[in-house]
Amino acid sequence: MMQNLPAIGAVSDLSELRTVLYQSGTLVHGPYGMGMQPADDDLTALVAGSIGAAKAFRRGNVLGTVTQSGGVPTGALIEAGNNANGAYARFADGTQICTSILGASATASVEWTFPIAFSSTTNLSVTGAYVAAGDPHTANPIFIQYGTLTASSVLFSARRSDTGAAATVNARHTAIGRWF
């Protein structure tokens, strides 16, 4: 039998808050939240009332496909993946991070197609640094110069800081922006 708990608004401090888990007909509760690991299929979460399984995050739905409807997260908290263009992470708050290591050419700009597109270039930031392992350019530091930026790609080149001349190096790139 479930015990009656105060409504969220009636809790005067966090010590009164109790998390109640109902798993396979057995009532379990603890003062510090969901520290137990019940089977995902058997879990119905109740926090001082009812929040329902669709709103409770647990091991089975923290990682997965992030989705949203009208700016409200409706899927997993974190989505991560990779492909030939690099790696990415999407978060339920709309933040997206893409990374890659690509070679820069001394003769032309190189295009990095993001592993997954951003929603727009608004608030999209791209940074990079050359990868120095075994690189002959350590006496002449290299900087990464970015050009045309779209929601799905960016042009870049590597330049020597002493002369501004193009350099052929591997560069680590990070793009941070929004997926919605």
Instruction: Tell me which H or E stretch contains 59.
Output: helix 59-62
86, 84, 76, 90 alpha-carbon torsion, rounded to 10°: 30
Q: Write down the pLDDT at residue 167.
A: 87
Contact status, residue 24 vs residue 41, Cβ threshold 8 Å = no
Sign of CA dihedral 115, 119, 120, 124: negative
Residue 164 confidence (pLDDT): 86
Helix (H) or strand (E) holding 178, with range, is: strand 170-178
Q: What angle do CA 115, 120, 100 make, to 5 degrees?
A: 25
| Residue 47 structure tokens | 């926090």
Instruction: Give the three-class secondary structure for 167.
Output: strand
Partner residues linked to 40 by β-bridges: none
Provide the pLDDT for residue 20.
37
Mean pLDDT by runs of 10 across the 180 residues of the chain is: 45 41 42 44 44 66 91 92 98 97 89 98 93 59 91 94 87 96
Domains and CATH numbers, the chain: 8-57 (no CATH), 68-178 (2.60.40.3940)
